Chain A
């Protein structure tokens, strides 16, 4: 059986993460490191040590904002942003519950909104997110104010050829 390191590297399909020499430049520039359970460099070490459960269970993989600062600055071209995508994919496939539930609920609401209209309708997407996450009351005043200003509308133009959009979701397993 493949080790966790091999599994992650195969999915990254680029520079293997053992190219990292632990200079921590990625972590120094990461805007969200302050809120992460394990910083980006530590996640690399944990993968090398085979700590599959701990990595997939950590808040880090959900908090990464995909800002791409780490990979842009890494002297060894280790693509940590892609690594975080891969870790989220593995966590979803392995049905590991997300440590940051609301962030995953947001992604699910976002994608299900595209699946039903081809484009995002912001009020419907937000209602869907609130139903999934149970976070009913935040931003209510802001939402009302945007509605009054005509910024968000209940009905917005959708993609006409929805058959092709649905086919994309079906064949990518999303």
Chain B
């Protein structure tokens, strides 16, 4: 299966282990990823918070670039996923905005690509049965809570990924590895996102609450599907409540017995290796 790949800026930097683990898992599942040619940044929160047209034009440029290769585009960062889907939503509905943006970008929007998150592709196209059949190391004892955050699910009419108050696809994928995903009520609460530099104290408070609630749910780690959430959880939690955080693709790679996980875990800020060693998973 051939899929285009839009890594976004974070996956070339702080989200390096997300990029590496996605590529490793995809290749094990025969998903052939091809990077969108000469993509540019989606503008993230900073564009839509300050300039609406810019927030549509920047993703539109990359959507048009992706159209060289019509079909699915895998977008792993929840912020990029949300911005690309939002731009597409407006371009599909507002003919005059579409004309204006096409002029700004200097290209035509043909609407020939679908923006898809790897959770969706792994869950709906590969499926948990195939996944569990490929598991080489059952992750017994790993008790994650799935943390979906905001931008994968909201607004629901744009994201259309899963139930927006109680999503389950990440939980089901994790359970297919032998891990026991713990139920909790904070799956879609906010981590503070881009406030991390401009208003760090608010982010610390939100992240500490997530950690505290994860502990209360009986979890021994958190799992995310977004580099912004990951950075906040992995780096901003206070020492007394901190739990290790993983990308869901790191967990899949570990369970499938693929090369790489240990070297990715080494670059986490909160080292997850002691937990995995105590469970005989590393």
Residues on A lying within 8 angstroms of B by beta carbon are 31-32, 34-35, 62-63, 65-69, 71-72, 84-85, 88-89, 92, 100, 102-107, 110-111, 114, 118-122, 126, 129, 133, 135, 138-139, 142, 145-146, 149-153, 156-157, 159-161, 164-165, 167-169, 171-174
Query: Is B69 at the interface (CB under 8 A from chain A)?
Result: no
Number of B residues contacting the other chain (C-beta, 8 Å)? 53
Q: Which residues, 150 to 180 on B, are CB-close (under 8 Å) to A?
A: 150-151, 154-156, 164
Is B16 in the interface zone, CB < 8 Å from A? yes
- The verdict on B44 contacting chain A, using a C-beta distance below 8 Å, is yes
Number of A-B contacts (CB under 8 A): 164
What are 15 A-B residue pairs whose CB atoms fall within 8 Å in the complex?
A35-B202, A65-B150, A66-B193, A72-B164, A85-B49, A85-B50, A85-B52, A89-B50, A114-B43, A114-B47, A119-B40, A133-B198, A146-B269, A150-B267, A160-B38
Q: Which residues of B have CB within 8 Å of A103?
A: 195, 198-199
B185 within 8 A of A: no
Q: Is B14 an interface residue when CB atoms closer than 8 A count as contact?
A: yes
Given contacts A105-B198, A106-B46, A164-B106, contact A122 B54 (CB under 8 A): no
> Which of B190-214 touch A at CB < 8 Å?
190, 192-195, 197-200, 202, 205-206
B54 near A174: Cβ-Cβ < 8 Å: yes
Q: A89-B50, A151-B13, A165-B61 are in contact. Are A102 and B198 (CB under 8 A)?
A: yes
Contact B49 A66 (CB under 8 A): yes
Q: Which 10 A-B pairs have the closest CB atoms?
A: A103-B198, A68-B154, A120-B9, A67-B190, A110-B46, A107-B46, A106-B198, A31-B190, A67-B150, A149-B267
A62 to chain B, nearest CB (A): 8
What separation, in Å, do the CA atoms of A133 and B58 have in the docked complex?
A: 25
Assembly CA distance A107 to B199 (angstroms): 12
Q: In the complex, which residues of chain A have a beta carbon less than 8 angstroms from the beta carbon of B58?
A: 114, 168
B189 contacts partner chain A, Cβ-Cβ < 8 Å: yes
Chain B residues near A133 (CB, 8 Å)?
Answer: 198
Does any Cβ of A come within 8 Å of B41's Cβ?
yes
